[in-house]
Amino acid sequence: MLFCIMANYTSESVNALMSHPESRMAAVKSLVEAAGGKLVSMYSMVAEGPGAMVIMDIPDPGVAPAITGVVASSGAVKDIKFFRLLSQDEVVEVRKKAAQLRPSYKPPSK
């Protein structure tokens, strides 16, 4: 299963990276692989950041939030967003299930 984590570096992290420029990919890859996953890609972001976006393939859906928790608790990043990424085939199946369930839900009255 594909998951995405997006986060911005804290000012302390930005200062540390300016003092000692390095790629964070090895550290992220080590964490993801220790959790039994695979790092698919990692990008830097500058629009709201500086920050990073990580896409990872994690077979156990319970492990992905744990990875996010490790990163969040480090204090190195802020504004963390965590997503489960769905393939187009998966989305079609979700839509079929939603159509099947729709009759059982009553929205609030207007």
Domains of the chain, each with CATH number or no CATH: 2-104 (3.30.70.260)
pTM: 0.87
Give residue 48's pLDDT band: very low, low, confident or very high (50, 70, 90). Answer: confident
> pLDDT, tens digit, for every residue of 60-84?
999 999 999 999 999 999 999 999 9
Radius of gyration of the chain (CA): 18
Q: For residues 46-60, give the mean pLDDT.
A: 92
Give residue 47's pLDDT band: very low, low, confident or very high (50, 70, 90). Answer: confident
pLDDT of residue 109: 85
Angle at 105 between CA 103 and CA 106, to 5 degrees: 110
Most distant CA atoms of the chain, gap in Å = 59
**Could you check whether the bond before residue 50 is cis, i.e. omega within 30 degrees of 0?**
yes
pLDDT of residue 91: 96
Q: How many angstroms separate the Cα of 78 from the Cα of each of 7, 8, 27, 28, 106?
A: 6, 5, 17, 16, 38
pLDDT of residue 110: 63
